[in-house]
Amino acid sequence: MTEPNTLISPPTPQLLDNSSGKVKTVQLWDKSKDDLMKQLGELKTELGQLRIQKVASSGSKLNKIHDLRKSIARVLTVINAKQRSQLRLFYKNKKYAPLDLRVKQTRAIRRRLSPEDKARALEKTKKRNTHFPQRKFAIKVRPQVNATRMDNQILSHIY
């Protein structure tokens, strides 16, 4: 009998799904680049062997080939994502970053002036704004009594 305080670790997940040979992407994120490249090589050699078997024998290996191609794509995706994240860290505090690492946004937003450039003004503009500031106008509001009397007159004509 086991003690209640001891933790039983779950069985370590296999890299390939037993039924179809698919690679689990979740398990790829913990691997190093060397392990990923090694696994990529293994998957590619297996794919080559399956293609040879498909040509040599009349048996269909299309499902297995499809799963292997998708597994290769998953491994390559993880490799590229890790590489891009490393590059983002490298260029984080640099003045310029490669175009593919920059924020996409829209073309108009990318070409918009920065806030400090937008706030700049010529000396002549500054003088004109200080000497001739924008005038402030106030509108006098009618008293509510007149408005209510007019509303009553309008209502009496309607009914």
The pLDDT tens digits of the residues spanning 85-124 come to 999 999 999 999 998 898 889 999 989 999 999 999 999 9
CATH number of the domain enclosing 40: 1.10.287.310
Cβ within 8 Å of residue 61, ≥6 positions away: 50, 53, 54
In a domain, 18, yes or no: no
Residue 63 located in a structural domain: yes
115: which 2 tokens?
Answer: 């806030």
Q: Around 126, how many Cα atoms within 13 Å sit in the side-chain half-sphere?
A: 5
152 has a pLDDT exceeding 70: no
CA 52 – CA 46 distance, rounded (Å): 10
**Structure-block tokens of residue 105:** 């946004």
Please tell me the predicted confidence (pLDDT) of residue 149: 59
What is the domain range of residue 85? 25-116
| 128 inside domain | no
Report if residue 123 sits inside a domain. no
Q: Is there a domain that residue 8 lies in?
A: no
Residue 151 lies in a domain: no
Number of domains composing the chain: 1
Structural domain includes residue 48 = yes
